[in-house]
Structure 1
Amino acid sequence: MTEVVALEALVSRIAPGQSLAVPVDRSGVAMAATAAMIEAGIDNLHLVCVPISGLQADLLIGAGAVATLETSAISLGEAGGAPRFGAAVKAGSFRLRDATCPAIHAGLLAAQHGVPFMPIAGIIGSDLLEVRPDWKVIDSPVGNSGKVVVVPAIKPDVALFHAPEADRDGNIRIGRFRELATMAYAAKRTLVTVERIVDRNLLATEDSAAGVLPSLYVDAIAVAERGAWPLALWDEYPADETEIARYTAMARSDDGFRAYLSTFLSRRKQVA
């Protein structure tokens, strides 16, 4: 049975040192939970971006919460580069496990299917193979397909995301963002924040069920209104581009980042 808990109780289920899978900015990012994690001092995380991240990862990096980062990119989109990510890479503040989008999805699919690895094509000849010794190049065991790269399964301790709504049984509406389901299938535990809990059964009809993650894959949910802000949440609210640009400008310096973070945490408390 999926539990409904307070935001702080949800975040308390993420332990320092665990691997945490988070989605791309457009897919429903749990920013309220991110603020609560920083407040709680959760650190030493292995952050797995599915397959990239932006403001969420940059905040966690700047707050010193990330020990290892596995991602295809960290970007603030139209606002520019992610300043704390760039500074941390230069300083060697965390271990970077550079990846590609297909490789991250392949690793999660391997975990979902309970196999140790997933073969992919398209990386052979890339410099990435020099920095990812865990990715192995092998002869294809099928036909005359040449060589393939095998990517180890990625099984996060926790998958964390934000969605518009859940029903009383803990089913989550994820719409067309199937990567959220992939994260949940691969992870040991899935924690979700939502805008609201509705009385109707989201699995009641074929039309509604098609965009729903069943409660079987959800451990706990917490209500967090505007829980993705300042990022967008589909069908709910757009990104606050002014706020993201303000972050980008302030976070270029250590002092500016700390000032922004203090304000951000205070504003999230007011929303909660």
Structure 2
Amino acid sequence: MASSLGALAKCIERGMTIALPVDYAGVSMAMTREMIRRGASDLHLVCVPTGGLQVDQLIGAGLVGTVETSAVSLGEAGGAPRFNAAVRDGSIRLKDATCPAIHAGLMAAQKGIPFLPMRGLIGTDLLRHRKDWRVLDNPLADAGDPIVLIPAIKPDVAIFHAPMADRFGNVWIGRRRELAAMAYASTITLVTVERIVEENLLADELTAAGVLPALYIGAVGQAPRGAWPYGLWGEYPPDVAELNRYAQAARTAEGFFRYMAEVGVEAVS
């Protein structure tokens, strides 16, 4: 049985670590608006592996303490204005990363191990800014062989939007396997969907391979067009005009709050 978006948002508490997907993978903008209404603050956002409108709006609403990401932008609409302003004025903590490092941290968490080794970061300046990433010599090598250890990333909550779930709680994510990685690594997963179907998605050979089983799902809420103004694969395209409208409006804090009020969200300044 589907939960209300308000019930899902009540699972988000102050100071939690929240895993959020890249803009093309199924962003739950419906939950973003509900989270802003709820107002749980000092959130640590983990972008998998980059962020966009969702992250920018949560920052603009004053709910974010830390962003761990490879990048935050609005794509063709330009930079993410509230993120950029927050970085400039120091109102959020930025944990800079790379796409492979984010995925490595999540993979370590899902495997139940404290870290995963990587090589591609050797020689980059990221190592000067990420004291939690450790460089040591490969203990299996005969000579010096430096390698970077990426700590496990263990989100409290993963949030995303998908085309459908069934009445048993299974969620169809298709080829978007990063959504599965988020769910495996997180304590609970909250999903909004376009529709809920009666048939068991795991019982159908055509859908089973793309299903995230209910075992990994904490709650499902129905939210038609829940990714808007982003698009959702196989369902509807992004609303480019609306993304551009936001990008223009949110260049100032005043414009941001005015925009949010226009879309029915009273963000507290």
Provide the C-alpha distance between the structure 2 equivalents of 1:70 and 1:112, rounded to a whole number of angstroms. 18
Provide the C-alpha distance between the structure 1 equivalents of 2:154 and 2:236, rounded to a whole number of angstroms. 31
Residue in 2 that maps onto 1:174? 173
Q: Which moved more, 1:25-34 or 1:201-210?
A: 201-210
Percent of paired sites with the same residue: 60
The aligned amino acid for 2:257 is R
The aligned amino acid for 1:215 is A
Residue in 1 that maps onto 2:86? 88
The CA deviation at 1:264 is 2.1
The CA deviation at 1:146 is 1.6
1:194-225 deviation digits (Å, cap 9, x = unpaired): 01100111111333111110000001000011
Q: How has the CA–CA distance of structure 1 residues 74 and 12 changed in structure 2, closer, same or farther, with 3 Å as cutoff?
A: same
1:89-120 deviation digits (Å, cap 9, x = unpaired): 00000111111000000000000000000001
Matched, 1:32 2:30: yes
Q: Give the TM-score taking structure 2 as reference length.
A: 0.96
Q: How has the CA–CA distance of structure 1 residues 142 and 207 changed in structure 2, closer, same or farther, with 3 Å as cutoff?
A: farther
1:37-83 deviation digits (Å, cap 9, x = unpaired): 00111211000000001000000011101001100000110111001
Residue in 1 that maps onto 2:150? 151
> Any runs of at least 4 consecutive aligned residues in structure 1 with deviations exceeding 6 A, and if so which?
none
Residue in 1 that maps onto 2:125? 127
The CA deviation at 1:263 is 1.2
Choose from 41, 44, 47 the match for 2:45: 47
Q: Please give the secondary structure, in 1, of the residue aligned with 2:15.
A: coil
The aligned amino acid for 1:106 is A
Q: Please give the secondary structure, in 2, of the residue aligned with 1:203.
A: helix
Matched, 1:211 2:210: yes
In the alignment, structure 1 segments of 5+ residues that lack a partner are 268-272
Provide the C-alpha distance between the structure 2 equivalents of 1:244 and 1:54, rounded to a whole number of angstroms. 10
The CA deviation at 1:138 is 1.1
Residue in 1 that maps onto 2:201? 202
Q: How has the CA–CA distance of structure 1 residues 168 and 149 changed in structure 2, closer, same or farther, with 3 Å as cutoff?
A: same
Matched, 1:236 2:268: no
Residue in 1 that maps onto 2:95? 97
Q: Please give the secondary structure, in 2, of the residue aligned with 1:104.
A: helix
Choose from 60, 63, 67 the match for 1:62: 60
Superposed CA RMSD in Å reads 1.3
Matched, 1:111 2:112: no
Residue in 2 that maps onto 1:270? none
The answer (yes or no) to whether the contact 2:36–2:265 under 8 Å persists in 1 is no
The CA deviation at 1:4 is 2.6
Residue in 1 that maps onto 2:139? 141
1:118-175 deviation digits (Å, cap 9, x = unpaired): 0011101111001100000111123468211100000000000000000011000001
Task: Give the aligned length.
Answer: 265
Matched, 1:165 2:164: yes
The CA deviation at 1:266 is 5.1
Provide the C-alpha distance between the structure 1 equivalents of 2:248 and 2:233, rounded to a whole number of angstroms. 26
The answer (yes or no) to whether the contact 2:28–2:161 under 8 Å persists in 1 is yes
Q: Please give the secondary structure, in 1, of the residue aligned with 2:113.
A: coil
